[in-house]
Structure 1
Amino acid sequence: MNKPEKLNYVEFSTKDLAATKQFFARVFAWAFVDYGPEYTAFSNQGLNGGFFQADLASTVASGGALLVFYSADIKATLAKIVQYGGVINRPVFEFPGGYRFHFIEPGGNEFAVWSEGCA
């Protein structure tokens, strides 16, 4: 349900639209709807959004927003990310509330994953 004045949609640039789609489909089971050759949308992932083809991508170092996934098993999620082409750019570390790591998906965008535990 759309709620007035609440975050509703997020768009990311990606250097490789096909690789980004394949990565998120494999790691997080996302489905996409293509709107032409340079845009794809996703929904039902906590926040709806899309990716568009561009020469740039979003990282924390460049001032980009960091979107953080939750995982019930942070080690299993990390293993899937690496298996399907993600690069861990900040290994698992402890922070108040749990554990977290950062990764770069094949299209160049940085995301993070957190969990309460790190068994």
Structure 2
Amino acid sequence: MARINYVELPVADTAVAKSFYEVAFGWLMSEFGPTYAATTMGDVDLGLQGDAAEATKAPLPVIDVEGLDSWPAKVEAAGGTVVKPIFAFPGGRRFHFRDPSGNELAVVEASH
């Protein structure tokens, strides 16, 4: 079943944003390099993307699926546009798309 399991926020300074969420909400955030931190609670997690070249302009909802390779065609058949083809990252593989309203989302298959 496909479900939103992650939201990635673009941030100007990863350390400042990480500190804010830890202090304000008591969340433990793991660092994944100098420009990325995330909660790893396992339900709906929050990622902080501080690399301007990688960050989206708005929050990025991430949809968890199985069988990632079949999903770009499904998204396009429904009227979406793939804007970043499937790529690997430390937690698995994903791609980005825009829905018919122009919102950017990602589809991920986590590595197990």
TM-score, reference length from structure 1: 0.45
TM-score, reference length from structure 2: 0.48
Structure holding more strand per residue: 2
